[in-house]
């Protein structure tokens, strides 16, 4: 009797009913994004940089260290390559401005565009391949620079840079306190890796909206139009950059009379004299990929933990970076490889403790 009273539901109807029920339950039971619902004490970072399947440059060099320091990091890969371009060949894909904006629209549609920090290494990672040939007293330096963004049109076009500026504007409309950390990769050693018109875009549009800027000596010169030949010049370049926008400026490497320095400057109140300092950096007889990306990520991570003490943040960042580089150098030597024969892939995973808990071996000297 019980069986006869049961109503048989057609198989197709049953399938549709189950599908709709599951879909409905999924929608109703969708969990919150915990990085938004329970934000970390450090912050939520959007990082727009390159990506390689093998090796550590761009986001591969920046995301993991920031995560170790407690940050939630969402990477956008401006390019996705098999390996960095210092190898004989590479394969991969390139993100254009329209595709970048589509990703932002997808995040916006799901209310996922709240970030505390934006990190860019534009124009992406210029990857250097150095070969030294010594003949008697002549040192021949051959540099293969593949600026995988500007020369090949990857992410270095004016249109892509303008899209990044739109991203900054959109993120700040949602979180006006957004911190934008920009590594303006334009060139090095007196050589410009990008078309001159892009320097103008950086100078006129990017620098004014940046919270922290991390140029090298040559890039600081390009952005200020000011030649740096002394420590005083480095400090003055920082002042010029402050006047253009960012409250924090770290010139990550300045070569003065054969000595390598970092000069940092923090303008805590607009118009007031900034706190300025230097850190003497040892020269390591080798070349590495991904170091600029790692350094900027570490500066972001530690400066947010020490918001009123940029010198302390720089000490931690430099000490971490130098420990990573020394371990990399030692491991290549252990493997029987000549570290001066080519650029070296940094030993990031093996250096976790140096990233989390660096021993401060490089102290800042404050300028009076």
Give the catalytic positions in this structure: 293
d(CA 225, CA 199): 11
Alpha carbon distance 326, 331 (integer Å): 9
- Calculated CA dihedral for residues 162, 165, 169, 174, nearest 10 degrees: 120
CA distances from 289 to 204, 325, 346, 360 (A): 29, 10, 7, 23
Structure tokens at 298: 């570490």
In the three-class reduction of DSSP (H, G, I as helix; E, B as strand; rest coil), residue 178 is classed as: coil
Contacts of 17 by beta carbon, 8 Å cutoff, 6+ apart? 9
CB 208, CB 245: distance < 8 Å: yes
Q: With beta carbons less than 8 A apart as the criterion, state whether 254 and 234 touch.
A: yes
Q: Decide the pairing of beta strands 275-281 and 287-289.
A: unpaired
- DSSP conformation class of 357: S
Are 173 and 161 in contact by the 8 Å Cβ rule? The answer is no
Residue whose C-alpha is closest to residue 121's, from 242, 202, 54: 202
**117-120, strands of its sheet edge to edge:** 92-94, 72-81, 44-52, 117-120, 179-182, 212-213, 248-256, 259-266, 275-281, 365-366
Q: How far apart are CA 66 and CA 356, in angstroms?
A: 9
Q: How far is CA 200 from CA 19, 155, 205, 216, 268, in A?
A: 55, 16, 8, 17, 27
């Amino acid at each position: 009797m019980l069986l006869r009273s049961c109503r048989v539901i057609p198989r197709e109807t049953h399938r549709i009913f189950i599908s709709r029920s599951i879909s409905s339950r999924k929608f109703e039971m969708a969990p919150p994004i915990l990085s938004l619902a329970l934000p970390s004490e450090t912050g939520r970072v959007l990082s727009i940089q390159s990506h390689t399947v093998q090796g550590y440059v761009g986001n591969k060099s920046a995301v993991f260290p920031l995560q170790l320091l407690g940050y939630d990091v969402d990477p956008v890969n401006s390019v996705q390559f098999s390996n960095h371009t210092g190898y004989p060949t590479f394969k991969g894909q390139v993100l254009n401005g329209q595709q970048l904006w589509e990703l932002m629209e997808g995040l916006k549609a799901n209310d996922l565009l709240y970030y505390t920090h934006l990190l860019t290494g534009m124009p992406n990672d210029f990857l250097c391949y150095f070969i030294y040939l010594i003949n008697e007293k002549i040192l021949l330096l051959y540099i293969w620079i593949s600026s995988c963004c500007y020369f090949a049109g990857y992410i270095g076009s004016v249109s892509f840079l303008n899209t990044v500026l739109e991203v900054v504007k959109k993120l700040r409309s949602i979180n006006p306190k957004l911190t934008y950390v920009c590594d303006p990769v334009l060139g090095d050693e007196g050589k410009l890796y990008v078309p001159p018109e892009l320097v103008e875009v950086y100078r006129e549009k990017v620098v004014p909206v940046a919270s922290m800027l991390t140029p090298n000596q040559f890039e600081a010169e390009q952005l200020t139009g000011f030649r740096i030949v002394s420590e005083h010049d480095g400090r003055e370049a920082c002042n010029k950059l402050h006047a253009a926008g960012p409250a924090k400026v770290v010139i990550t490497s300045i070569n003065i009379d054969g000595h390598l320095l970092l000069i940092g400057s923090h303008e805590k109140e607009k118009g007031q004299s900034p706190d300025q300092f230097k850190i003497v950096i040892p020269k390591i007889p080798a070349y590495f990929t991904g170091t600029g990306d790692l350094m900027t990520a570490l500066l972001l991570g530690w400066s947010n933990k020490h918001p009123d003490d940029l010198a302390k943040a720089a000490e931690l960042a430099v000490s971490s970076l130098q420990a990573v580089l020394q371990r990399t150098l030692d491991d290549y030597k252990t493997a029987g490889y000549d570290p001066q024969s080519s650029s070296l892939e940094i030993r990031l995973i093996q250096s976790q403790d140096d990233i989390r808990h660096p021993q401060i071996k490089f102290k800042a000297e404050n300028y009076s």
